[in-house]
Amino acid sequence: MAESSSHVLIFPFPVQGHVKCMLQLAELLCLSGIPFLTFLNSDHNHRRLLLDSHFLASFPGFRFASLPDGLPPDHPRSGIRIFELFDSISAVTKPLFRDMLLCGRLNCDGRPPVNCIIADGIFMSFAIDVAEEVGIPLVSFRTFSASCFWTFLCIPRLIQAGDLPIRGDDDDMGRAVSSVPGMESFLRFCDLPSFCRAADPSDRALQIVATETHLTTRAHALILNTFDELEGSALSHIRRHIPNLYAVGPLGAFLHAKLPESSRRSSTSLWQEDRTCMAWLDARPPKSVVYVSFGSITVLTRDQLLEFWYGLVNSGKPFLWVDRPNSVAGEQQVPKELAAATRERGYVVGWAPQEEVLAHPAIGGFLTHSGWNSTLESLVAGVPMICWPYFGDQQMNSRFVGEVWKVGVDMKDCCDRVIVEKMIRDVMEVRREEVEKSAMQMAETARKAVAGGGSSRASLDRLVEDIKLMTGRRNATQ
């Protein structure tokens, strides 16, 4: 049968957020009966990834492979230098990826040839060129929200309408944007993805994002980590350009639904998770703790660090803070009063098991950078958010959290200790009942989407069947 020889290659852009959700997709496909799956990572991340023997033992048809990304080991691969990773992958990884597929290196040990590629849709469009050359169907996976993808697809329309580049003073950033269909009632210029803040429409970052998004329309299909009930309007608009669309999120909730309660999840982290924070949370009262994490790419200035820290301490709330290695630029000299307050009611770790943390009953709010993974994980856990977007799609995500889904507050473009304290108190005290109710309703909607008969479950079933059909068609032509 065709499905017995299905061999899927998954190829993420090599940063934590992208690797995490594409590993979740890999696990979900394995659980759904895809017999062979290869996860292609960069050498750099492959060495850092906590390769879980439990994962490998559970799915004997799964394996890791890697290629160099062309950057030295000490390159930060974060902040504004992320575009250096894009350039290096295009120059170094692309030809090696092509050679890997042509030489048959991935179909050793009795494995069938790769007959479907699922590649990251941002910064990785070269995979479409290679897939077309070697005759393997490619499905694009976008790790952003559907709403952000739709906005990226509208960049030419925004430029043509004169909305980009953004002109004017700070007050101008609050004006409504009318060139993104479906979002006219709430989208402001300050809510557009950070790339859209370029002063020149020929800005390289803006053009890269626009071009990469347009090239996605050449893929066989598109996968998004979202669900119809969350982003139905954006998904409807995208389907007019890419009819073969699978909304299969939230992936984390899907895996929880698929796996028995006693089954241990595999690690998807590039950093060692400090699980001592779970015991610390066990000793805190319900809904009392603010969880703080700015993700895997955000780099704070020392001044920003201090504003957040003072705001947290002044709020009087216990807090669990993820202080990722190299997440703050420059020297970190901690004022004595902050150090003392943190010892009293704070806990700091280098990296945390985030989904478990958010599901813990002690968590009452999430101070977040509004990355899409973190946003979905907070929605699934029913935890209200205090949003401080940093980069990329995060500006849009925070607007949806505060204005559309009403599951938190948006602190966009502001880093002031007084505002930090106020917004924490708003979520944890003043508006607690309101935002908690919305958050719990959204969590229930997400669970229904991945359950039997749900919209995401139906999309996953279609995706698996489509992969099997690709296998049959490819076998018939060989």
120 carries an active-site annotation: yes
- Helix ranges restricted to H, 240-365: 251-258, 276-282, 302-315, 336-345, 354-359
Structural contact between residues 216 and 222, judged by C-beta atoms closer than 8 angstroms: yes
ω before 193 within 30° of 0 (cis)? Answer: no
- Closest C-alpha to 383, from 358, 402, 352: 358
Rounded-to-integer distance, Cα 308 and Cα 367, Å = 10
Amino acid of residue 128: I
Rounded-to-integer distance, Cα 260 and Cα 256, Å = 8
220 carries an active-site annotation: no
CB atoms under 10 Å from CB of 64, counted, come to: 15
Task: Count Cβ atoms within 10 A of the Cβ of residue 478 and give its class: 0-12 exposed, 13-18 middle, 19 or more buried.
Answer: exposed
Structural contact between residues 29 and 133, judged by C-beta atoms closer than 8 angstroms: no
The token duo for 226 is 């979202």
DSSP 267: P
Give the strand pairing for 7-11 and 221-224: unpaired
Q: Please give the distance of CA 305 from its chain centroid, rounded to a whole number.
A: 23
Structural contact between residues 397 and 17, judged by C-beta atoms closer than 8 angstroms: no
Rg of the chain on CA atoms, in Å: 22
For CA atoms 295, 301, 305, 310, give the dihedral sign. Answer: negative
User: Exactly one of 44, 46, 120, 360 is catalytic; which is it?
Assistant: 120
DSSP SS3 for 433: helix
Q: Which residue's entry shows tokens 């979002």?
A: 183
Structural contact between residues 81 and 57, judged by C-beta atoms closer than 8 angstroms: no
Q: Please give the distance of CA 26 from its chain centroid, rounded to a whole number.
A: 15
H or E stretch including 377?
helix 372-381
DSSP β-bridge partners for residue 328: 300
DSSP 114: P
By annotation, the residues acting in catalysis are: 18, 120
